Amino acid sequence: MIAFPSGLSLARAEFDDFRSLLKSRTGIHLSDAKVGLMQSRLRPRLNQLRLQAWSEYRAYLKSLPPALL
Specify the pTM: 0.75
Centroid of chain to Cα 4: 13
**C-alpha 32, offset from chain centre:** 14
Q: Where are the domains of the chain?
A: 12-68
What is the Cα–Cα distance from 47 to 69, expressed in whole angstroms? 18
pLDDT tens string 33-62: 999 999 999 999 999 999 999 999 999 988
Q: How far apart are CA 54 and CA 39, in angstroms?
A: 10
Name which of 46, 49, 37 is nearest 4 in CA terms.
46
Q: How far is CA 22 from CA 11, 14, 19, in A?
A: 16, 12, 5
Q: What topology is assigned to 12-68 in CATH?
A: Chemotaxis Receptor Methyltransferase Cher; domain 1 (1.10.155)
